[in-house]
Amino acid sequence: MLKKLLPFVEHVIKKPVWDCRMCGQCVLHSTGMTCPMTCPKTLRNGPCGGVRENGNCEVIPDMQCVWLKAYDRKVFLPLPTVWKDHFNELRPPVDMRLQGSSSWINLVTKRDQQTPAGWSTTDGAH
């Protein structure tokens, strides 16, 4: 029941504020409260090289680059220091199986921290 209800509640809350795409492994806290899945290239580790001179997106010229927004918010918003520290960590590839599920449940069950067996990083991130 909860498994069915929570994705709905989460989407209703997160969609209007963050334009949540329900990837099921939320990283908002570490990306300046800006959803990287709204980047047309769904980049989770920083901006592509195509950001325009005015700061807008290569793909959608009248939208500000998601990563420019994320970086500005990281710098200027009064977010917890640990969240800011996580900004530069290497976020793992998205687990496509979690698409549409509730990241809140996945956070509690730690399902969102599972990475492929071969995945490792050199920066201390999981």
In the complex, the residues that contact ligand SF4 under the rule CB under 6 A are 39-41, 43, 47-48, 50-51, 57-59, 65-67
Q: Rule CB under 8 A: choose which of 20, 23, 65, 98 binds other proteins.
A: 65
Contact 84, 71 (CB under 8 A): no
**Pairwise CA distance, residues 70 & 66, whole Å:** 6
Smallest separation (angstroms) from ligand SF4 to the CB of 43: 5
DSSP per-residue string spanning 23-37: -SS--GGGTTT--GG
Q: Which does 79 bind (CB under 5 to 8 A by kind): other proteins, ligand SF4, none?
A: none
| Contact flags string 24-53 toward other proteins, x per CB under 8 A | ----------------xxxxxxxxxxxxxx
Which of ligand SF4, other proteins, none lies near 66, with the C-beta cut-off 5 to 8 A by kind? ligand SF4
Angle at 122 between CA 92 and CA 49, to 5 degrees: 60
Non-local (6+) Cβ contacts of 16 within 8 A are none
Q: Does 71 bind other proteins (CB under 8 A)?
A: yes
Query: Which are the contacts of 28, defined by CB distance < 8 A and separation ≥ 6?
Result: 18, 34, 35
Which spans of this chain sit near other proteins (rule: CB under 8 A)? 40-53, 55, 58-59, 61, 65, 67-68, 71-72, 88, 90-94, 96, 116-123
